[in-house]
């Protein structure tokens, strides 16, 4: 349920409603918009019906949210959420670009990639220190050593660091070195991990599961927000279908669906979404056109020698061209890059 306060409701009236709800055993979450304040209420629906709220001073109406996801819901917060990561913004008219190698391989490789990322105007450096691979014999990442390299290069360039967290036991280490915690597709429904990152103060990039519905994805975000972390970013990275031409099927319709259902920002990963280097640019353009708030792409100084995902990684020249085209598309869509 959400409690919509009157446009001229005072802070005292808002606090009185919150106090009444807390006394009745409910959790409350406040959303302060441009014109009015909305109080989200989490708790037993049957018990909620016993509490008379509309008679309280300053309350305009009570609205029942039928979906399981409450805090993620645009009904709870009609305005778009803009997430500020140390000055780099995701959401609104800001187009964020996260770029870098699939895996951190060496300080030299990472530093060279970061220089291209920075020069082309991207704000975030992405790179995997812990790598979930299909084969146990594939490169698994440099782990903490890789995190240290990411942090060092981030400090050198001013780029914000995005890296994947695979297990709750690594939360402290990843939080120490990264600016954004990435939950990979394989962990989208690792509910214990979602709750644990929900207890941190770091923005969380939530990738869509390999075969997850939009509803399941929204509820995964709710797990994070229910623990108090409201800085969640969706990432569409393609889903598994019967198609074999591409690595995955990039579902750009999900961007439209998420925008309608939720106030949270959403970015698109055309690298994993297609697995094909020459498809990354046109699908990136399409993502911006349907309303995405940003893009995540893989680029490598020498894709032919990459330890993973070289076939889908952009070369430095490819990335420069990609960014030029994304900048033109962003302007057309009223966004800044």
Identify the pLDDT of residue 111. 97
Query: Which tokens in the block code for residue 2?
Result: 């959400």
Q: DSSP character for 14?
A: H
Task: Residue count of the chain, please give it.
Answer: 337
Asked whether 271 and 235 are in contact (CB, 8 A), the reply is no
Phi, psi at residue 118, to the nearest 5°? -65, -45
Please name which of 220, 215, 214 lies closest in space to residue 232, comparing C-alpha atoms. Answer: 220
Residue 286, judged by CB atoms within 10 A of its CB (0-12, 13-18, 19+), counts as middle
Identify the pLDDT of residue 186. 95
The pTM (predicted TM-score) of the whole model is 0.91
Q: DSSP character for 253?
A: H
Q: What's the CA dihedral at 178, 179, 180, 184 to 10 degrees?
A: -10
List, in sequence order, every residue forming a beta bridge with 42; answer none if it has no partner.
27
Instruction: Could you list the beta-strand ranges (E) of 52-179.
Output: 59-63, 83-85, 88-90, 96-100, 124-126, 160-164
Helix (H) or strand (E) holding 32: strand 27-32
Could you write out the DSSP letters of every residue in 202-235?
A: S-EEEEPPTT--HHHHHHHHHHHHTTT---EEEE
Asked whether 10 and 83 are in contact (CB, 8 A), the reply is no
**pLDDT in tens for each of the 337 residues of the chain?**
889 989 999 999 999 999 999 998 888 888 888 778 999 888 877 777 788 888 899 999 888 887 889 999 999 999 999 999 999 999 999 999 999 999 999 999 999 999 999 999 999 999 999 866 667 756 667 889 999 999 999 999 999 999 999 999 999 999 999 999 999 999 999 999 999 999 999 999 999 999 999 999 999 999 999 999 999 999 999 999 999 999 999 999 999 999 999 999 999 999 999 999 999 999 999 999 999 999 999 999 999 999 888 999 999 999 999 999 999 999 999 999 8
175 vs 17: CA distance, rounded Å: 35
22: left (phi over 0), alpha (psi -120 to 50) or beta: alpha
Fold that domain 83-332 belongs to in CATH: TIM Barrel (3.20.20)
Query: Which tokens in the block code for residue 4?
Result: 């919509």
Identify the pLDDT of residue 197. 98
Please name which of 273, 272, 270, 275 lies closest in space to residue 329, comparing C-alpha atoms. Answer: 270
Identify the pLDDT of residue 27. 87
Q: Which residues contact 326 (CB under 8 A, 6 or more apart)?
A: 95, 97, 284, 285, 288, 295, 337
70 vs 273: CA distance, rounded Å: 28
34 vs 322: CA distance, rounded Å: 36
Which CATH code is given to the segment(s) 2-63? 3.30.70.1140
Task: Evaluate whether 2-63 and 83-332 have a shared fold.
Answer: no
Quick check: helix, strand or coil at residue 31?
strand
Give the strand pairing for 294-298 and 232-236.
Answer: unpaired
Identify the pLDDT of residue 151. 97
Where are the domains positioned within the chain?
2-63, 83-332
Q: DSSP character for 336?
A: B
Helix (H) or strand (E) holding 50: none
């Amino acid at each position: 349920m959400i409690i919509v306060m009157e446009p001229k409701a005072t802070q005292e009236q808002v606090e009185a409603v919150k106090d009444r709800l807390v006394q009745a055993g409910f959790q409350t979450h406040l959303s302060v918009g441009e014109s009015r304040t909305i109080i989200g209420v989490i708790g037993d629906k049957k018990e909620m019906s016993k509490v008379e709220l509309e008679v309280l001073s300053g309350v305009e109406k009570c609205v029942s949210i039928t979906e399981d996801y409450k805090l993620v819901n645009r009904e709870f917060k009609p305005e778009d959420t803009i997430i500020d990561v140390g000055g780099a913004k995701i959401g609104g008219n800001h187009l964020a670009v996260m770029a870098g190698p699939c895996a951190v391989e060496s300080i030299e490789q990472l530093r060279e990639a970061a220089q291209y990322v920075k020069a082309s105007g991207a704000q975030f450096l992405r790179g995997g220190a812990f790598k979930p691979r299909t084969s146990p014999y594939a490169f698994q990442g440099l782990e903490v050593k890789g995190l240290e390299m990411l942090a060092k290069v981030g400090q050198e360039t001013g780029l914000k660091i995005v890296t994947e967290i695979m297990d709750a036991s690594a939360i402290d280490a990843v939080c120490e070195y990264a600016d954004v915690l990435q939950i990979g597709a394989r962990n989208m429904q690792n509910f214990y991990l979602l709750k644990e990152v929900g207890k941190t103060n770091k923005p969380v990039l939530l990738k869509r599961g390999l075969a997850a519905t939009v509803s399941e994805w929204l509820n995964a975000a709710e797990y994070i927000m229910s623990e108090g972390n409201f800085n969640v970013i969706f990432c569409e990275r393609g889903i598994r279908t019967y198609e074999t031409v591409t690595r995955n099927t990039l579902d750009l319709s999900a961007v439209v669906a998420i925008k309608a259902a939720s106030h949270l920002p959403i970015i698109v990963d055309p690298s994993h979404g297609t697995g094909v280097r020459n498809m990354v640019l046109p699908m990136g353009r399409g993502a911006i056109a349907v309303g995405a708030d940003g893009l995540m792409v893989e680029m490598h100084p020498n894709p032919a020698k990459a330890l993973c995902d070289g076939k889908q990684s952009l070369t430095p020249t490819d990335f420069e061209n990609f960014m030029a085209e994304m900048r033109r598309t962003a302007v057309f869509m009223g966004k800044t890059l």
